[in-house]
Amino acid sequence: MASANLSHGESVIELGTFRARTCDGISRRSFLQLAPSLPAALGLGLHASTARVDGAPSDRSPSDRSPSVRAKSVVFVFLWGGPSHLDTFDPKPDAPAEYRGPLATIGTRTPGVRFSELVPGLAQRSDLFTLIRSNRQTAPGHPDGGTVALTGYEERPLPVKPNFGSIVAAHRGHCGGLPPFVSLASGMLGDSTRIIEGYGAGTLPPSNDPFFVSCSDRGQVDLPSLRLLEGLSPDRLDDRKTLLSQLETDLRGFDSAGVAGWNDTYQAAYRLLTSPEARRAFDLTLETQDTRDRYGRTTFGQSALLARRLVEAEVPYIQLNYSRHPEAITSGFEFGWDTHILNFELLQDQHCPIFDRAFSAFLDDIYQRGLSDDTLVVAMGEFGRTPKINQRASRDHWPRCYFSIWAGAGIEPGRVIGASDRLGEDPLSDPISPLMVGTTIAELAGMNAEARARLNVLEGGSVIDELL
Amino acid sequence: MSYCRAANDVSRWGDRSRTCGHVRRLARCLIAVLASLTVWVSAGNAADQSIRLTMDGTMKFTPAFFKGGSEIAFVQFVKPTMFQIMCLRMDDRTTRPLHEDETDHELDVSVSRDGAYYAYVKCHGTLKGSIEIRDANQKEVGHVAAGEGFAVYRSLAFAPDNSRLLFSYAENVHQQLFSVDLKGDDLQPLTDSTGINNWPSFSPDGTQIVFGSTRDGNYEIYKMQADGSTIRRLTNSPTMDLRPRFSPDGRLVSFTSNRDGNYEVYVMSEDGANPRRVTNHPERDDYAMWHPDGKQLLMVSERSGNHDLYLVELPP
């Protein structure tokens, strides 16, 4: 194990509680443990059969699968909780004070376009992306709004429709040793009441559920559903015989219900843990300190860097979540963008500096590393926030109008598409719905209308013509 | 293709290794020269003459001298689900949680000038936070219950004689400054303006308060009498001026501003004259707190993406 040679501050990949390298010279033994939730978390797309659900073979590189694939990888940056559009990318400096808020605006690289002073890094990179200011949806709450944002449809009537990532995963199938749909979060997304029902595969086979991976502010990567068991050192992960033996032993510890499906699934666990490609993709220590610094030593910053590595590993769909929970200040919950109180302070102190730094670094890397041509980047929340300041000098939920950021995959950057009215309450132009967002993502990922129909997904959706 | 090339190069590895040794030595010399140049070039930059007090790099907020300056209390983002008050010992630089068993968020720690009391915001449930006032032995002295609905207090500050505790609170669209006694009783409003009033700080003699306000459109710094009268604006910049603090002698006010493009720490005379930039770094400097000697500022600085506590000499 290489940890003894690593300098202070160097980080780790964690597989469960296993540290392949440590940041402080500690050499912890690794242990492999399989949790009962492993089948869902792994995604049964890692089954012995890695065929796509639409029946096409899956052993080709993504670029071979469709001549119209513009995005080998999609990175969906989910700003969970609903960032204020007026205080970030759609300021209204001429609106009355009770709408515009106290923040100044700054110029961008896009002539005539101004952002809030809280996103100076992205203002200097407005020529790298296209901004839509006319997104609109209908669900006002977090879990239901999250489902609409991630699937394009409301939660009811049942069944819940699949996440855009699950759709792309189903079309693309498994990619080498890595899952086709990775969601960067410490667990299932939800608020203090329940999960987002549209988190995963929905009407598609559960094999297209997201594979959750979390990353700490120190760059420790954790696969929540893989736990390393006593007696299995990281060096022995490559000892496939031992690993298989260990996994089989572990299987005997579960009841019959838990064992169902394991024969396929443990192969997947085995494949992921022993795949040099997968382990390399998750190992942020392979990045220079300078690169890791540029993203910021925050959970979101290091997760954004991990997302870039997964793009380089050609993972078809990565959902990069700002937080697992939407609430801004709730004990026991991660900090999302739901700023019903202290909106301006939280944006000033935490959310915007973290996002501005990490997303700027991510965009820089995507372009500088030549990844932008075949990577689609979309950043948005489930909705915006009330243009009129609320009783707590903050802003509440506002699904009628919000923003999204689009970059890469041949999308002409440096533009603003759509506009909101003078108060930021409604789109002036044709609104962009979540279904249009999902359809455009699918189209760029190589799923034309025929392919979508074959999977019975995104029915009635249309692409965002102005974007393409 | 690259694999083949690597294999063919194996036979020359010894030569390459020797060459690499020379290159490394040369590089080390260059780095040493550049490092000395860097120190020289940055000699006028106060932030680069600073003392780094913490090394973990996690996000930190609102530092305050504690226990007569032998410790620093601050809020740390200890994990994605928790903000916690930590204490840094100045002698051995170790840190520990102030409240070992706390599981709720703790925000905005403030310490009285004589170190006899501290106060903080404790979060409960969803988007709610009360004020907790304790003595130096952590015994509860006072408490201000969380308001109705979503409600969290912010920006606590003790009067120099420990007679009052200031805080900021939003209701009826605007955010105002209030004060209570140390039991949390006798609520008195201090401001009644539009917008957000925040970050109050008493002058050392207790007669004046500096604070931030958006009453004129954006974040500026103001001064008023301790009873809320005679409000005077001290700054006028198109961007944000935040978190003012009176110096121990009352002659200067420190504050944070992004007037030069990112968050930097400034000082100005107590009447708003002669603003001077203390830090100058492309990353963030914020949450300045005066050292009791009045010659240094304690702050949170972001360097290489890490957030740590620094002590910075005040430029002459």
Point out which residues pair with A226 in neighbouring strands.
Answer: A34
Give the number of other CB atoms < 10 A from CB of residue A426: 14
Q: Token digits for B72?
A: 């620093």
Same domain membership, residue A229 and residue A219: no
Q: Token digits for B246?
A: 């009176």
> Residue A366 and residue A372: Cα distance in Å, rounded?
5
> Residue B281 and residue A234: Cα distance in Å, rounded?
41
Please tell me the predicted confidence (pLDDT) of residue A457. Answer: 98
Name the residue of chain A whose CA is nearest to B261's CA.
Answer: A120
Please tell me the predicted confidence (pLDDT) of residue A194. Answer: 94
Please tell me the predicted confidence (pLDDT) of residue B176. Answer: 98
Instruction: Indicate whether A58 belongs to any domain.
Output: no
When scoring B52, B60, B150 by the number of chain A Cβ atoms within 10 A, the one with the most, hence best to mutate, is B150
Q: Using the beta-carbon criterion (under 8 Å), do B123 and A329 form an inter-chain contact? A: yes
Q: Token digits for A149?
A: 């944002």
Give the contacts of A465 (CB within 8 A, at least 6 positions apart): none
pLDDT digits (tens, 9 = 90+) for B87-110: 999 999 999 999 999 999 999 999
Same domain membership, residue A355 and residue A264: no
DSSP A229: P
Rg from Cα positions in chain A: 22
Distance from chain centroid for Cα B56: 16
Please tell me the predicted confidence (pLDDT) of residue A250. Answer: 58
Nearest to A356, CA basis, from A154, A117, A136: A117
CA distances to A420, B199, B261 from A343, in Å: 21, 15, 22
Same domain membership, residue A152 and residue A270: no
Task: State whether residue A74 is helix, strand or coil.
Answer: strand
Instruction: Indicate whether A414 belongs to any domain.
Output: yes
Please tell me the predicted confidence (pLDDT) of residue A176. Answer: 73
> Residue B209 and residue B228: Cα distance in Å, rounded?
8
Cα–Cα–Cα angle for B305, A297, A321, rounded to 5 degrees: 130
Contact B158, B110 (CB under 8 A): yes
Give the number of other CB atoms < 10 A from CB of residue B97: 14
Residues of chain A with pLDDT under 50: 1-67, 227-234, 236, 254-265
Name chain A contacts of B241, Cβ cutoff 8 Å: none
Half-sphere exposure of B281 (CA within 13 A, CB side): 23
ipTM of the complex: 0.85
Give the number of other CB atoms < 10 A from CB of residue B143: 16
Same domain membership, residue A216 and residue A99: yes
Please tell me the predicted confidence (pLDDT) of residue A269. Answer: 58
pLDDT digits (tens, 9 = 90+) for B180-210: 999 999 999 999 999 999 999 999 999 999 9
Please tell me the predicted confidence (pLDDT) of residue B68. Answer: 86
**What is the residue whose two structure tokens read 């501003």?**
B257
Q: Using the beta-carbon criterion (under 8 Å), do B81 and A97 form an inter-chain contact? A: no
pLDDT digits (tens, 9 = 90+) for A162-215: 999 999 999 998 767 788 999 999 889 999 899 999 999 999 998 899 988 999
Based on the number of CB atoms within 10 Å of its own CB, is B293 exposed (0-12), middle (13-18) or buried (19 or more)? exposed
Same domain membership, residue A363 and residue A251: no
pTM: 0.85
Q: Return residues 170-209 of B near A (CB < 8 Å).
A: 170-175, 194-196, 198
Q: Return residues 67-126 of B near A (CB < 8 Å).
A: 77, 80-82, 103-105, 107, 123-126
Instruction: Indicate whether A261 belongs to any domain.
Output: yes
Q: Token digits for B187?
A: 């609520």
pLDDT digits (tens, 9 = 90+) for B215-271: 999 999 999 999 999 999 999 999 999 999 999 999 999 999 999 989 999 999 999
Contact A196, A190 (CB under 8 A): yes
> Residue B154 and residue B119: Cα distance in Å, rounded?
11
pLDDT digits (tens, 9 = 90+) for B27-67: 444 444 343 333 333 333 554 578 999 999 999 999 999 98
Half-sphere exposure of B267 (CA within 13 A, CB side): 25
Q: Token digits for A340?
A: 């019903």
Is residue B286 pLDDT above 50, yes or no?
yes
Mean of the pLDDT values across residues B112-135? 95
A274, A309, A339 - which closes a domain: A274
B217: left (phi over 0), alpha (psi -120 to 50) or beta: left
Domain count, chain A: 2
Same domain membership, residue A255 and residue A112: no
- CATH of residue A291's domain is 3.40.720.10
Same domain membership, residue A248 and residue A135: no
Give the contacts of B89 (CB within 8 A, at least 6 positions apart): B70, B71, B95
Instruction: Indicate whether A155 belongs to any domain.
Output: yes
Instruction: Indicate whether A136 belongs to any domain.
Output: yes
A274, A307, A334 - which closes a domain: A274
Q: Using the beta-carbon criterion (under 8 Å), do A330 and B242 form an inter-chain contact? A: no
- Higher pLDDT among residues B1 and B67, named by residue: B67
Same domain membership, residue A412 and residue A394: yes
For A145, the domain range is 65-223+282-455
Same domain membership, residue A322 and residue A270: no
Same domain membership, residue A152 and residue A84: yes
Name the residue of chain A whose CA is nearest to B238's CA.
Answer: A104
Please tell me the predicted confidence (pLDDT) of residue B8. Answer: 31
Please tell me the predicted confidence (pLDDT) of residue A268. Answer: 56
Instruction: Indicate whether A215 belongs to any domain.
Output: yes
**What is the residue whose two structure tokens read 């109008």?**
A401
Point out which residues pair with A327 in neighbouring strands.
Answer: A338
Same domain membership, residue A137 and residue A249: no
Instruction: Indicate whether A250 belongs to any domain.
Output: yes
Give the number of other CB atoms < 10 A from CB of residue A445: 29
Half-sphere exposure of B81 (CA within 13 A, CB side): 15
